[in-house]
Amino acid sequence: MASTHFTKLAGQKIHKINRMSAIKVYAIPNCNTVKKALDWLKANKVGYEFHDYKKLGVTAGTLTNWSKQVGWEALLNKKGATWRQLSPELQSKITNQKAAIALMIEKTSIIKRPLIERNDKVIALGFDEAEYKKALK
């Protein structure tokens, strides 16, 4: 039988989490896309654990695992302000997984978010309500 416990997330409300099917949301809390995703999860009563990149960072091993699943290019948010603030010279050097992972470790806000994981498998990247309904219901 799955164990259930309650956890406080980022000083917010307590969310019920079922350990067998719990999801982990990797993101930064002040992102509008993340806020939409978290609102959707709460409205649909989906329990989750929140991992704040800014406070907790992310390991090369985790990024490598995700890259194997979705590709490093998908993880790298080239539409965001963090990418645009990089010099063209630095942008041009991000041509492979190793360089991308080093950059994502250094500048965690460049990782596309939110990334949702269940049992070490990426089940969603970004926020798309239709995909969330499929993956999380």
- Per-residue pLDDT band for 110 (boundaries 50, 70, 90) equals very high
Residues 29, 31, 36, CA angle at the centre, nearest 5°? 90
4-136: what fold? Glutaredoxin (3.40.30)
Residues 7-44: tens digit of each pLDDT: 333 444 434 444 346 899 999 999 999 999 999 999 99
Identify the CA nearest to 123 among candidates 1, 17, 5, 22: 22
Mean pLDDT, residues 112-137: 94
Identify the CA nearest to 24 among candidates 45, 64, 52: 52
Annotated catalytic residues are 31
pLDDT value of residue 3? 33
Residues 76, 46, 20, CA angle at the centre, nearest 5°? 90
Burial category of 93 from C-beta neighbours within 10 Å (exposed 0-12, middle 13-18, buried 19 and up): middle
CA distance 60 to 84: 23
Does the pLDDT value for residue 117 go beyond 50? Answer: yes
What does the domain layout of the chain look like in residue ranges? 4-136
The amino acid occupying position 42 is K
* 129-136 helix and 32-43 helix, angle to the nearest 10 degrees: 40
pLDDT value of residue 21? 60
Reading the block at residue 39, the tokens are 């609102």
* 97-106 helix and 60-70 helix, angle to the nearest 10 degrees: 130
Residue count (the chain): 137
The separation between CA 129 and the C-alpha centre of its own chain, rounded to angstroms, equals 16
Q: State the average pLDDT for the chain.
A: 87
2 close to 18: Cβ distance less than 8 angstroms:
yes
Taking the model in full, what pTM does it have?
0.81
Residues 50-109: tens digit of each pLDDT: 999 999 999 999 999 999 999 999 999 999 999 999 999 999 999 999 999 999 999 999
